[in-house]
Protein backbone atom coordinates (compact mmCIF):
# COMPACT_ATOMS: atom_id res chain seq x y z
CA UNK A 1 0.00 0.00 0.00
CA UNK A 2 2.84 2.40 0.87
CA UNK A 3 4.38 1.77 -2.54
CA UNK A 4 1.06 2.56 -4.23
CA UNK A 5 0.73 5.82 -2.28
CA UNK A 6 4.31 6.77 -3.14
CA UNK A 7 3.70 5.99 -6.80
CA UNK A 8 0.52 8.08 -6.76
CA UNK A 9 2.31 11.04 -5.19
CA UNK A 10 5.10 10.69 -7.72
CA UNK A 11 2.59 10.82 -10.58
CA UNK A 12 1.00 13.93 -9.10
CA UNK A 13 4.39 15.63 -8.87
CA UNK A 14 5.30 14.83 -12.45
CA UNK A 15 1.96 16.04 -13.85
CA UNK A 16 1.78 19.22 -11.77
CA UNK A 17 2.41 22.43 -13.67
CA UNK A 18 4.24 25.08 -11.68
CA UNK A 19 2.77 28.59 -11.47
CA UNK A 20 3.84 31.01 -14.18
CA UNK A 21 6.88 33.10 -13.25
CA UNK A 22 7.86 36.55 -14.54
CA UNK A 23 11.13 38.47 -14.16
CA UNK A 24 11.82 41.90 -15.67
CA UNK A 25 15.32 43.10 -16.55
CA UNK A 26 16.33 46.26 -14.63
CA UNK A 27 16.52 48.27 -17.86
CA UNK A 28 12.92 47.34 -18.64
CA UNK A 29 13.77 46.12 -22.14
CA UNK A 30 13.45 42.39 -21.51
CA UNK A 31 11.01 40.17 -19.65
CA UNK A 32 11.54 36.48 -18.88
CA UNK A 33 8.57 34.14 -18.51
CA UNK A 34 8.55 30.53 -17.29
CA UNK A 35 5.53 28.23 -17.52
CA UNK A 36 6.13 24.64 -16.45
CA UNK A 37 9.50 23.64 -17.99
CA UNK A 38 9.33 26.27 -20.75
CA UNK A 39 11.48 29.39 -20.59
CA UNK A 40 10.95 32.37 -22.88
CA UNK A 41 12.50 35.83 -23.03
CA UNK A 42 10.95 38.75 -24.91
CA UNK A 43 12.51 42.00 -26.09
CA UNK A 44 10.16 44.96 -25.73
CA UNK A 45 12.20 47.19 -28.04
CA UNK A 46 12.09 44.82 -31.00
CA UNK A 47 8.73 43.34 -29.97
CA UNK A 48 10.09 39.84 -30.52
CA UNK A 49 11.24 36.72 -28.69
CA UNK A 50 14.90 36.33 -27.81
CA UNK A 51 16.84 33.27 -29.00
CA UNK A 52 18.36 31.51 -26.00
CA UNK A 53 21.55 29.53 -26.57
CA UNK A 54 22.59 26.59 -24.42
CA UNK A 55 25.28 24.47 -26.06
CA UNK A 56 24.95 21.72 -23.44
CA UNK A 57 21.37 20.71 -24.30
CA UNK A 58 18.68 20.97 -26.91
CA UNK A 59 15.37 22.64 -26.09
CA UNK A 60 13.68 22.54 -23.68
CA UNK A 61 16.49 23.88 -21.52
CA UNK A 62 14.81 22.49 -18.41
CA UNK A 63 13.31 19.00 -18.26
CA UNK A 64 10.81 19.71 -15.48
CA UNK A 65 8.94 22.58 -13.84
CA UNK A 66 10.89 25.81 -13.39
CA UNK A 67 10.49 27.09 -9.83
CA UNK A 68 12.67 30.21 -9.82
CA UNK A 69 13.86 32.82 -12.31
CA UNK A 70 15.52 36.15 -11.62
CA UNK A 71 17.86 38.83 -12.86
CA UNK A 72 20.76 39.97 -10.69
CA UNK A 73 24.01 41.91 -10.53
CA UNK A 74 22.27 44.96 -12.06
CA UNK A 75 21.01 42.89 -14.95
CA UNK A 76 24.33 41.29 -15.86
CA UNK A 77 23.13 37.80 -14.89
CA UNK A 78 19.94 35.76 -15.20
CA UNK A 79 19.25 32.46 -13.45
CA UNK A 80 16.64 29.75 -13.99
CA UNK A 81 16.17 26.62 -11.86
CA UNK A 82 13.61 24.08 -10.76
CA UNK A 83 12.43 20.51 -10.39
CA UNK A 84 14.94 19.02 -12.83
CA UNK A 85 17.66 19.67 -10.20
CA UNK A 86 19.40 21.99 -12.61
CA UNK A 87 20.33 25.65 -12.24
CA UNK A 88 21.31 27.56 -15.35
CA UNK A 89 23.19 30.86 -15.35
CA UNK A 90 22.67 33.05 -18.40
CA UNK A 91 24.32 36.19 -19.75
CA UNK A 92 21.61 38.70 -20.79
CA UNK A 93 24.21 40.38 -22.99
CA UNK A 94 23.96 37.60 -25.60
CA UNK A 95 21.42 35.28 -23.89
CA UNK A 96 23.88 32.41 -23.78
CA UNK A 97 23.99 29.89 -20.94
CA UNK A 98 27.39 30.46 -19.32
CA UNK A 99 27.14 27.73 -16.69
CA UNK A 100 25.03 24.73 -15.70
CA UNK A 101 24.93 23.74 -12.03
CA UNK A 102 23.59 20.38 -10.83
CA UNK A 103 21.69 20.16 -7.55
CA UNK A 104 21.19 17.06 -5.42
CA UNK A 105 17.54 18.02 -4.80
CA UNK A 106 14.88 20.11 -6.48
CA UNK A 107 15.54 23.84 -6.39
CA UNK A 108 12.98 26.12 -4.67
CA UNK A 109 14.62 29.57 -4.64
CA UNK A 110 17.61 31.45 -6.08
CA UNK A 111 19.56 34.63 -5.35
CA UNK A 112 22.43 36.48 -7.04
CA UNK A 113 24.91 38.58 -5.09
CA UNK A 114 24.79 42.22 -6.14
CA UNK A 115 28.47 42.18 -7.14
CA UNK A 116 27.81 39.21 -9.44
CA UNK A 117 30.39 36.98 -7.75
CA UNK A 118 28.05 34.35 -6.31
CA UNK A 119 24.79 32.57 -7.04
CA UNK A 120 22.92 30.87 -4.21
CA UNK A 121 20.07 28.42 -4.43
CA UNK A 122 17.90 26.51 -1.97
CA UNK A 123 16.68 22.96 -2.33
CA UNK A 124 13.47 21.37 -1.06
CA UNK A 125 15.23 19.98 2.04
CA UNK A 126 16.12 23.44 3.36
CA UNK A 127 19.77 23.56 2.31
CA UNK A 128 21.22 26.69 0.73
CA UNK A 129 24.08 26.16 -1.69
CA UNK A 130 26.54 28.67 -3.11
CA UNK A 131 28.25 28.75 -6.51
CA UNK A 132 31.46 30.71 -7.02
CA UNK A 133 31.25 32.42 -10.41
CA UNK A 134 34.96 33.28 -10.36
CA UNK A 135 35.84 29.71 -11.25
CA UNK A 136 36.33 29.25 -14.96
CA UNK A 137 34.71 25.83 -15.41
CA UNK A 138 31.43 25.66 -17.33
CA UNK A 139 29.91 23.11 -14.95
CA UNK A 140 30.37 24.53 -11.47
CA UNK A 141 30.01 22.51 -8.28
CA UNK A 142 27.81 24.01 -5.53
CA UNK A 143 29.02 24.15 -1.94
CA UNK A 144 26.75 24.12 1.17
CA UNK A 145 26.29 27.58 2.70
CA UNK A 146 23.61 27.23 5.40
CA UNK A 147 20.60 25.13 6.37
CA UNK A 148 17.00 25.53 7.56
CA UNK A 149 16.88 21.90 8.72
CA UNK A 150 14.22 20.30 6.52
CA UNK A 151 12.01 23.38 6.23
CA UNK A 152 11.29 24.28 2.60
CA UNK A 153 12.88 27.62 1.73
CA UNK A 154 10.52 29.80 -0.28
CA UNK A 155 12.63 32.89 -0.98
CA UNK A 156 16.28 34.02 -0.98
CA UNK A 157 17.58 37.60 -1.08
CA UNK A 158 20.91 39.35 -0.74
CA UNK A 159 20.79 42.67 1.08
CA UNK A 160 21.66 45.62 -1.20
CA UNK A 161 25.10 45.98 0.44
CA UNK A 162 25.82 42.20 0.28
CA UNK A 163 26.26 42.12 4.07
CA UNK A 164 23.45 39.62 4.59
CA UNK A 165 21.72 36.77 2.86
CA UNK A 166 18.08 36.34 3.82
CA UNK A 167 16.15 33.08 3.65
CA UNK A 168 12.41 32.65 4.23
CA UNK A 169 10.64 29.34 4.78
CA UNK A 170 7.35 27.55 5.23
CA UNK A 171 7.79 27.54 9.01
CA UNK A 172 6.78 31.22 9.20
CA UNK A 173 10.28 32.63 9.74
CA UNK A 174 12.84 34.82 7.99
CA UNK A 175 16.49 34.23 8.81
CA UNK A 176 19.06 37.00 8.36
CA UNK A 177 22.56 35.53 8.04
CA UNK A 178 25.81 37.46 7.86
CA UNK A 179 27.37 36.79 4.48
CA UNK A 180 31.02 35.96 5.24
CA UNK A 181 34.11 37.18 3.43
CA UNK A 182 34.86 33.59 2.46
CA UNK A 183 31.38 32.09 1.92
CA UNK A 184 32.78 28.86 0.53
CA UNK A 185 33.54 27.91 4.15
CA UNK A 186 29.85 28.32 5.05
CA UNK A 187 27.79 31.05 6.70
CA UNK A 188 27.39 30.39 10.41
CA UNK A 189 26.75 33.78 12.04
CA UNK A 190 23.05 34.68 12.28
CA UNK A 191 22.29 38.39 12.53
CA UNK A 192 18.60 38.09 13.40
CA UNK A 193 15.30 36.28 12.91
CA UNK A 194 12.24 38.16 11.68
CA UNK A 195 9.39 36.44 13.53
CA UNK A 196 5.69 37.34 13.42
CA UNK A 197 4.04 35.75 10.40
CA UNK A 198 1.47 33.12 11.30
CA UNK A 199 1.69 31.21 8.01
CA UNK A 200 4.40 30.40 5.46
CA UNK A 201 6.51 33.29 4.17
CA UNK A 202 6.13 33.44 0.40
CA UNK A 203 8.23 36.39 -0.81
CA UNK A 204 10.78 39.01 0.19
CA UNK A 205 11.78 42.42 -1.20
CA UNK A 206 13.95 45.25 0.06
CA UNK A 207 12.72 48.82 0.24
CA UNK A 208 15.05 51.07 -1.80
CA UNK A 209 15.28 54.18 0.38
CA UNK A 210 17.97 56.81 0.79
CA UNK A 211 17.35 57.26 4.52
CA UNK A 212 17.79 53.59 5.38
CA UNK A 213 19.00 51.78 2.27
CA UNK A 214 20.08 48.46 3.70
CA UNK A 215 17.84 47.24 6.48
CA UNK A 216 14.16 47.74 5.56
CA UNK A 217 12.59 44.52 4.31
CA UNK A 218 9.11 43.64 3.07
CA UNK A 219 7.67 40.14 3.35
CA UNK A 220 4.47 38.53 2.09
CA UNK A 221 2.84 35.47 3.59
CA UNK A 222 0.07 32.92 3.55
CA UNK A 223 -1.40 34.84 6.52
CA UNK A 224 -2.62 37.49 4.01
CA UNK A 225 -0.31 40.21 5.32
CA UNK A 226 2.65 42.24 4.13
CA UNK A 227 5.07 43.11 6.91
CA UNK A 228 7.87 45.66 7.22
CA UNK A 229 11.02 44.71 9.13
CA UNK A 230 14.32 46.09 10.33
CA UNK A 231 16.62 43.19 9.48
CA UNK A 232 19.52 44.37 11.65
CA UNK A 233 17.50 43.80 14.81
CA UNK A 234 14.74 41.59 13.39
CA UNK A 235 12.16 44.06 14.69
CA UNK A 236 8.68 44.04 13.16
CA UNK A 237 7.94 47.64 12.22
CA UNK A 238 4.50 47.40 10.62
CA UNK A 239 1.87 44.86 9.59
CA UNK A 240 -0.50 45.57 6.70
CA UNK A 241 -3.46 43.20 6.46
CA UNK A 242 -3.71 43.55 2.70
CA UNK A 243 -6.51 41.02 2.14
CA UNK A 244 -8.72 42.78 4.69
CA UNK A 245 -7.84 46.26 3.36
CA UNK A 246 -8.60 45.10 -0.18
CA UNK A 247 -12.00 43.76 0.92
CA UNK A 248 -11.10 40.13 0.24
CA UNK A 249 -11.16 38.95 3.86
CA UNK A 250 -13.34 39.98 6.76
CA UNK A 251 -11.63 41.25 9.89
CA UNK A 252 -13.12 38.37 11.89
CA UNK A 253 -11.28 35.93 9.59
CA UNK A 254 -14.33 34.00 8.37
CA UNK A 255 -12.59 32.93 5.14
CA UNK A 256 -9.62 30.63 4.89
CA UNK A 257 -6.42 32.68 4.94
CA UNK A 258 -4.74 30.37 2.43
CA UNK A 259 -7.29 31.51 -0.16
CA UNK A 260 -5.84 35.02 0.14
CA UNK A 261 -2.15 34.27 0.48
CA UNK A 262 0.28 36.92 -0.71
CA UNK A 263 2.09 35.23 -3.58
CA UNK A 264 4.53 37.93 -4.70
CA UNK A 265 5.52 41.54 -4.20
CA UNK A 266 7.89 44.09 -5.69
CA UNK A 267 8.77 47.73 -5.13
CA UNK A 268 9.19 50.69 -7.45
CA UNK A 269 12.70 52.09 -7.82
CA UNK A 270 11.98 54.95 -5.44
CA UNK A 271 10.51 52.57 -2.87
CA UNK A 272 7.31 54.59 -2.53
CA UNK A 273 4.97 51.96 -3.97
CA UNK A 274 4.73 48.21 -3.42
CA UNK A 275 2.84 45.98 -5.86
CA UNK A 276 1.32 42.95 -4.11
CA UNK A 277 -0.16 39.86 -5.74
CA UNK A 278 -2.81 37.95 -3.77
CA UNK A 279 -3.89 34.43 -4.66
CA UNK A 280 -7.63 35.16 -4.86
CA UNK A 281 -7.33 38.57 -6.56
CA UNK A 282 -7.32 38.93 -10.33
CA UNK A 283 -5.10 41.98 -10.20
CA UNK A 284 -2.76 43.63 -7.71
CA UNK A 285 -2.87 45.75 -4.57
CA UNK A 286 -0.70 48.87 -4.57
CA UNK A 287 0.69 49.80 -1.16
CA UNK A 288 2.12 53.18 -0.28
CA UNK A 289 5.32 52.89 1.74
CA UNK A 290 6.17 55.77 4.10
CA UNK A 291 9.81 55.13 4.85
CA UNK A 292 10.15 57.91 7.44
CA UNK A 293 7.10 56.79 9.40
CA UNK A 294 7.83 53.11 8.63
CA UNK A 295 4.22 52.38 7.68
CA UNK A 296 2.30 50.76 4.82
CA UNK A 297 -1.14 51.70 3.54
CA UNK A 298 -3.31 50.59 0.63
CA UNK A 299 -3.10 53.15 -2.18
CA UNK A 300 -5.21 51.33 -4.76
CA UNK A 301 -6.70 47.96 -5.62
CA UNK A 302 -6.31 47.23 -9.32
CA UNK A 303 -8.51 44.28 -10.25
CA UNK A 304 -9.15 42.73 -13.63
CA UNK A 305 -12.72 41.56 -13.85
CA UNK A 306 -13.70 38.96 -16.43
CA UNK A 307 -16.90 39.35 -18.41
CA UNK A 308 -19.24 36.58 -19.45
Q: Is residue 24 part of a domain?
A: yes
The distance of Cα 148 from the centroid of its chain, to the nearest Å, equals: 16
End position of a domain, from candidates 140, 166, 195: 195
Element containing residue 242 per DSSP (H, E)? helix 242-245
For every one of its 308 residues, what pLDDT tens digit does the chain have, with 9 covering 90 and above? 444 444 444 444 445 666 789 999 998 899 999 999 999 999 999 999 999 999 888 778 999 999 999 999 999 999 999 999 999 999 999 999 999 999 999 999 999 999 999 999 999 999 999 999 987 766 689 999 999 888 999 999 999 999 999 999 999 999 999 999 999 999 999 999 999 999 999 999 999 866 555 679 999 999 999 999 999 999 999 999 999 988 887 765 554 556 899 999 998 878 789 999 998 888 899 999 998 899 999 999 987 665 44
Q: Is residue 108 part of a domain?
A: yes
End position of a domain, from candidates 162, 195, 228: 195
> For residue 231, what is the domain's CATH number?
2.40.128
Which among 287, 305, 282, 306 is positioned nearest to 297, based on CA atoms?
Answer: 287
Element containing residue 265 per DSSP (H, E)? strand 262-267
Asked if residue 119 and residue 252 are part of one domain, the reply reads no
Asked if residue 217 and residue 130 are part of one domain, the reply reads no
> For residue 189, what is the domain's CATH number?
2.130.10.10
Q: Is residue 29 part of a domain?
A: yes
Asked if residue 154 and residue 231 are part of one domain, the reply reads no
For 90, the domain range is: 13-195
Q: How many domains would you assign to the chain?
A: 2
Contact between residue 63 and residue 84 where contact means Cβ atoms under 8 Å apart: yes
End position of a domain, from candidates 142, 161, 195: 195
Asked if residue 227 and residue 158 are part of one domain, the reply reads no
Q: Is residue 5 part of a domain?
A: no
Amino acid sequence: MDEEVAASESRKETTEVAPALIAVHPDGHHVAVAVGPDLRVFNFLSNSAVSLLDESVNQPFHKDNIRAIRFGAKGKLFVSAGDDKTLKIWSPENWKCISTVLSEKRVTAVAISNDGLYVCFADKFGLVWIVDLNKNSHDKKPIPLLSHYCSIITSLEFSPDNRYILSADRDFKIRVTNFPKNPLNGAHEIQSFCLGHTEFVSCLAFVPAQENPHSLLLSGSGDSTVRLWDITSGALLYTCEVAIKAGLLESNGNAEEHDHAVTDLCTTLDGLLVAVAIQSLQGIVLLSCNVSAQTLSVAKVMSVRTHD
